[in-house]
Amino acid sequence: MTVSLLSRRMRRALMAPLTRTLGLSQLGLSLLTVAATAGVVSAQGTGGKPTVAVMYFTNGALANNADYAPLSKGLAEMLITELAANTNIRVVERDRLQALLEEQNLGASGRVEKETAAKIGKTLGALHMLMGSFVIDPKERMRMDVRAINTETSELEYAATVSGKADNMLELLAQLGAKLNAGLKLPAVPAGVQEGAAVGAKGPNQLKSMMLLSRALEQQDRKNNTQAIALYKESLAANPDNARAKTLLASLERGTKD
């Protein structure tokens, strides 16, 4: 008898009493739960890199609220980019969040309760789930707030706020990334990594560039790649230092994703 055949027979023998006790449907659910739990443990690891995921920001603009709606995705994309500059942690890519939100039929930029966010984070294999919101007033002053939820306990573990001019948006995101690294006690950023370099925090026209990038992300999610490419180019024309816009444009133009 081969080892594989013996292994299959042993599995059937072990599963038989469970099938009789639980019923097939309940057994299937139990096995899926075990598999999902195993996946989370594997993704987080016991001695591996801490994993962080970022939800889309909640739009709290005080004027022209609908106009600022695309920033929900754009700010999340840029915070992911800034955090990912710390190669000692793992940051879930926005594409994975987008796919999960579509699969679960959840609003991409709507308000999500922390328990739901924790479940989403756990599904993505993240220990820390970041939930952000932003406010822009009629004078284009901006505040960003982020809460970090522990996906194992659904409890708030850290909160951070930054504020300033909306046209310094990328600089504010860089500050936010630094606060989150420190507040969550994540591994130190490697030597030589400059705060804000990943997002082009010193460039001009940051608000305009980010609005265009955010609209490009929306078009890309809708598979309107031609429109997305045009918007990424406009974003770069407004702020040539927008490093993430460069990467997303190049990736889309060659038909791959970074």
Residue in the structure block whose two tokens are 């994540």: 186
For residue 222, give both structure tokens: 């809708």
Q: In degrees rounded to 5, what are phi and psi of residue 157? A: -110, -20
For 12-60, the DSSP string reads: HHHHHHHHHHH-HHHHHHHHHHHHHHHHHHHHH-SSS--EEEEPPPEE-
The predicted pLDDT at position 157 comes to: 97
User: Using the 8-state DSSP alphabet, how is residue 196 labeled?
Assistant: T
User: What was the pLDDT predicted at 110?
Assistant: 53
Each residue's pLDDT tens digit in the chain (258 positions)? 443 443 444 344 434 443 333 343 333 333 333 334 444 444 454 358 999 999 999 999 999 999 999 999 999 999 999 999 999 999 999 999 999 998 887 755 456 788 888 999 999 999 999 999 999 999 999 999 999 999 999 999 999 999 999 999 999 999 999 999 999 999 999 999 999 999 888 889 999 999 999 999 999 999 999 999 999 999 999 999 999 999 999 999 998 555
d(CA 203, CA 26): 56
Nearest Cα residue to 39 out of 153, 125, 150, 151: 125
Phi, psi (degrees; rounded to nearest 5) at 58: -85, 130
Which are the contacts of 152, defined by CB distance < 8 A and separation ≥ 6?
A: 122, 127
In the block, tokens 């690891």 appear at 45
Q: Does domain 51-192 have CATH number 3.40.50.10070?
A: yes
Q: What is the DSSP letter of 167?
A: G
Token digits of residue 194: 């400059």
* pLDDT value for 107: 59
**In the chain, domain spans:** 51-192
- Nearest CA-CA partner of 79 in 151, 182, 169: 169
Q: Which residue has the tokens 């194992």?
A: 152
Residue 55, phi then psi, degrees to nearest 5: -75, 160
Q: What residues contact 220, with CB distance under 8 A and at least 6 apart?
A: 228, 248, 252
| Axis-axis angle for helices 206-221, 71-84 (nearest 10) | 100
